[in-house]
Chain A
Amino acid sequence: MADEALFLLLHSEMVAGLYRAAEQGEGENGRCTAKLEGMGFRVGQGLIERFTKDTARFKDELDIMKFICKDFWTTVFKKQIDNLRTNHQGIYVLQDNKFRLLTQMSAGKQYLEHAPKYLAFTCGLIRGGLSNLGIKSIVTAEVSSMPACKLFSEYSVI
């Protein structure tokens, strides 16, 4: 039962460590986001396997998305997604008004330019989770005022 503080610090150090290595010439900036997203993807796949071992089959896309917003988000971030919107054509917008990975950074616009680094892993997490549920997606994030964030998930069925 690993403590949440440990995960938060690990994530924070992963972001810092990757960017530090990039500055010292071991890779460029763009790669850092891709690496974080890739790590999130692997973790998302693993997590969803563990979570859905005993759950019933999902009825449809929306059902899956609700699972992500409620059960999945609660297990990972100790709260549910605050708002879920969709255009019913494969695009979902998840809003978290107090995103756990941003609450320590600032409240408002300070350090806004660093926020994307802290969302890359989570975007991968969602993409990985969906992938193991048979959904191919592209997940991006947008932060306009911390600690709130919006995650956009665009589906294409495998």
Chain B
Amino acid sequence: NSELFTLTYGALVTQLCKDYENDEDVNKQLDKMGYNIGVRLIEDFLARSSVGRCHDFRETADVIAKIAFKMYLGITPSITNWSPGGDEFSLILENNPLVDFVELPDNHSSLIYSNLLCGVLRGALEMVQMAVDVKFVQDTLKGDSVTEIRMKFIRRIEDNLPAGEE
């Protein structure tokens, strides 16, 4: 039933492109909405996956790729390109379900179509005390051979503050 989600996501991006004049604003909106979804999705994830606390970023990467992505999008990205310090890695998606049936028109070359995913990851990890930076570095929609998401660990969030609603 991925089509319902894929089609709905497509309709959302289309609507946002109409509402906001430039791609940058759409990218920001997608990130913000993703964040709001992520902070709630994590609860669903923790309840259904019975995954315990991750001890380091490598474990986190494994959980994200092998359990979370599988559970929610039915795909298992591969994990590559670890930084020497172990604080950065890439998720490689051979195929991205969000972009089934999608083509980017020429006048939207700066649109990061799947940017919602970055917000979701960021929001979800913030709820488990990790501040991360997430961005797309390759995108099949833009002609790259794979879709690559780069995740960077910024710091552990010590205070247990409630999620800041954006």
Contact = CB atoms under 8 A, between A and B. Distances in A.
The answer to whether A and B assemble together is yes
A10 interface: yes
B131 interface: no
Contacts of B40: 9
Interface string B1-21: 111111111111011000100
Interface stretch (A43-51, A59-67, A109-117): A43-51
Contacts, number: 86
B15 A7 contact: no
Given A6-B72, A13-B37, A26-B19, A1 B2 contact: yes
Interface in B23-38: 29, 32-33, 36-37
Given A2-B97, A9-B41, A46 B15 contact: no
B4 to A, nearest CB: 6
B69 to A, nearest CB: 11
A4 B41 CA distance: 11
Interface residues of B, number: 30
Q: What is the interface of chain A mostly: helix, strand, loop, or mixed?
A: helix
Given A2-B5, A2-B74, A35-B15, A17 B41 contact: no
A26 B29 CA distance: 13
Interface string B102-130: 00000000000000100000000000000
Contacts of B5: 2, 6-7, 10
B73 interface: yes
Contacts of A9: 37, 40-41, 44
Interface residues of A, number: 29
B68 to A, nearest CB: 10
Summarize B's interface: helix, strand, loop or mixed: helix
Interface string A18-44: 000100001100000001001110110
A5 B10 CA distance: 17
Nearest to B116: A10
Contacts of B44: 5, 9
A3 interface: yes
Given A39-B8, A39-B15, A2 B36 contact: no
A98 interface: no
B86 to A, nearest CB: 29
A3 B40 CA distance: 14
A35 B12 CA distance: 10
B36 A16 contact: yes
Given A6-B5, A17-B29, A42 B41 contact: no
28 contacts: A1-B73, A2-B72, A2-B73, A2-B74, A2-B97, A3-B72, A3-B73, A4-B1, A5-B41, A6-B73, A7-B4, A7-B8, A9-B41, A10-B5, A10-B9, A10-B116, A11-B8, A14-B8, A14-B12, A17-B32, A35-B15, A35-B19, A39-B8, A43-B10, A46-B10, A46-B101, A47-B7, A75-B1
